Amino acid sequence: MDQLLELFLIFLKVNLLSTSGPASVGLLYSEVVGNLITEGQFVQAVGLSSVLPGSDALQLAMYIGYAVGGIPGGFVALTASILPPTIIILGVTVILHRLRRQAWISNFVDGLAPAISVLMLFTAWKIFQKGGSMGWEGWAVGLISLVAMASQKVPERIVIIIAGIVGVIFLS
Amino acid sequence: MNQPKFSVWLKLLWMFLKVNILSPSGPASIGLLYKEAVGTIMTEERFVEAVGFSNVLPGSEALKLAMFVGFAAGGIPGVLTALLGAIIPPTFLMLIVSAILERFQQEGWIGGFVAGMSPAVAALIVVVSWELFRASTRKKIDHRVILIAILSAIAFWFEAPSPLVLLAAGTLGIFLFGNRSLK
């Protein structure tokens, strides 16, 4: 029960402090890895959520929730992820309809964005470091993936799947 | 838009089910949603407004977009149907995959799979982080964004709790960007 409550609060917090699923990865990492799930599970969650179709935020919630507390855990994490944007949007569209352009919320999010980017860089480094393949293989996979994704010519999900298969063949 | 309400809701549900099955993530679904929604249930202007809005509010992008489009097309019931359509496909798929993966968690090849995926996931995060930073500076290439980035880098370096750092960065944003709306 305590774990379900913890899940709920974490996902509430993460979804209040990030602007999209991919952007929430940094904060999510610092909140769940080590106390609720392992490094490896987190990598699977991020990898799978970018491979499977649909919202990354909800998939991260589902994976982590399920890993921690089975199906109830999945639904608790899901609910906590859905609540903040729903309440805010309903508030904005219904009540604050006129105040939109001046809303302080938008300035808050503008301040949030650079900090989220920096946090994500730290998280990327931690995941890379603890990924278990620190030799030249890890660097090779990382750099090739980076170039492939940054060039925007190869879909991210293809890169992730290929990297996983390379891992199964060469790193198991 | 003069059709009976019920058919609008059904259309919304179907549209969001489709968009969320066919697109890999929230931000990626914008193009597909544009094709589906603009002209049929909402005007281009409102769509652009919805996209702009979902960028400045916290929470999952796909959900915010779904709710804006739903609201434009069918009021509050529209919001709920669009939400349902956006939630069901990704979470159901993930539930199935996590349940299957759990059976293999102890097997050797999973370790290799994760080891191979780790550097790629790290690279993905770097790319998203860069896109996010560029999106936040495109609006205003200025020292305030850089200042927040440097301050938060220092804070993360000394391992300050991330939620607190983000909260502080947002609050700083309210003060730094606050005078913008006065012009």
Please give the share of chain B, as a percent, with pLDDT higher than 70. 89
| Helical packing angle, A25-32 and A39-51, nearest 10° | 150
B97 and B117 in a single domain? The answer is: no
Q: What confidence tens digit (pLDDT) does each residue in A10-31 have?
A: 999 998 888 777 788 999 999 9
State residue B183's pLDDT score: 35
B69 and B140 in a single domain? The answer is: no
> Who's near B176: CB < 8 A, 6+ residues apart?
A107, A111, B144, B147, B148
The total domain count for chain B is 2
Residue of B nearest to A170 (CA): B112
Half-sphere exposure of A78 (CA within 13 A, CB side): 25
Asked if B99's CB is within 8 angstroms of A48's CB, the reply is no
B82 and B133 in a single domain? The answer is: no
State residue B1's pLDDT score: 46
The answer, yes or no, to whether residue B174 has pLDDT greater than 80, is yes
**Domain carrying residue B116:** 108-182
Asked if B142 reaches chain A (Cβ–Cβ under 8 Å), the answer is no
The answer, yes or no, to whether residue B182 has pLDDT greater than 60, is no
B165 and B76 in a single domain? The answer is: no
- Mean per-residue pLDDT for A73-101? 78
Closest CA to A19 of A73, A61, A76, A57: A57
The minimal CB distance from B121 to the residues A43, A74, A86 is found for: A43
Cα distance between the two ends of chain A = 36
Q: Min CA distance, A37 vs chain B (Å)?
A: 13
B167 and B82 in a single domain? The answer is: no
Task: Choose the mutation target among A20, A37, A88 for the interface with B, i.e. most B CBs under 10 Å.
Answer: A20
Query: pLDDT band at B181, cuts 50/70/90?
Result: very low
Chain A residues touching B24 at Cβ < 8 A:
50-54, 155-157
Average pLDDT of the residues of chain B: 81
Q: What confidence tens digit (pLDDT) does each residue in B21-57 have?
A: 877 666 667 777 888 888 887 888 778 777 777 777 7
B9 and B90 in a single domain? The answer is: yes
State residue B149's pLDDT score: 92
Q: What confidence tens digit (pLDDT) does each residue in A52-69 have?
A: 887 888 999 999 999 999
State residue A72's pLDDT score: 94
Task: Choose the mutation target among B15, B60, B76, B181 for the interface with A, i.e. most A CBs under 10 Å.
Answer: B60
The answer, yes or no, to whether residue A99 has pLDDT greater than 60, is no
Asked if B133 reaches chain A (Cβ–Cβ under 8 Å), the answer is yes
pTM: 0.81
The minimal CB distance from A116 to the residues B123, B132, B139 is found for: B132
Q: What confidence tens digit (pLDDT) does each residue in B138-165 have?
A: 566 678 888 999 999 999 999 888 888 9
Hey, what long-range contacts does B105-109 have (CB within 8 A, 24 or more apart)? B108/A172, B109/A168, B109/A172
B63 and B149 in a single domain? The answer is: no
Lowest mean pLDDT among B13-17, B79-83, B131-135: B131-135
Cα–Cα distance between B130 and A100 in angstroms, integer? 27
- Mean per-residue pLDDT for A150-157? 82
Residue of A nearest to B65 (CA): A89
Q: How large is the ipTM?
A: 0.83
Lowest mean pLDDT among A39-48, B54-63, B153-162: B54-63
B95 and B15 in a single domain? The answer is: yes
Asked if A141's CB is within 8 angstroms of B53's CB, the reply is no
The minimal CB distance from A145 to the residues B119, B176, B177 is found for: B119
B79 and B44 in a single domain? The answer is: yes
User: Which of B74, B104, B134 is a domain's end point?
Assistant: B104
The answer, yes or no, to whether residue A102 has pLDDT greater than 70, is no
The minimal CB distance from A119 to the residues B114, B118, B152 is found for: B152
B75 and B15 in a single domain? The answer is: yes
Contact A151, A118 (CB under 8 A): no
> Who's near B99: CB < 8 A, 6+ residues apart?
A66
State residue B113's pLDDT score: 85
Half-sphere exposure of A62 (CA within 13 A, CB side): 23
State residue A107's pLDDT score: 81
CA B156 from centroid of its chain's CA atoms:
24
User: Which of B65, B85, B104 is a domain's end point?
Assistant: B104
User: Which of B76, B104, B132 is a domain's end point?
Assistant: B104
Three-state SS annotation for A89-123: HHHHHHHCCCCHHHCHHHHHHHHHHHHHHHHHHHH
State residue A5's pLDDT score: 94
B43 and B91 in a single domain? The answer is: yes
Lowest mean pLDDT among A51-55, A68-72, A81-85, A158-162: A51-55
Residues forming beta bridges with residue B42, ordered by sequence position: B38
B113 and B100 in a single domain? The answer is: no
The minimal CB distance from A131 to the residues B22, B115, B139 is found for: B115
State residue B138's pLDDT score: 55
Chain B residues touching A101 at Cβ < 8 A:
181
Average pLDDT of the residues of chain A: 85
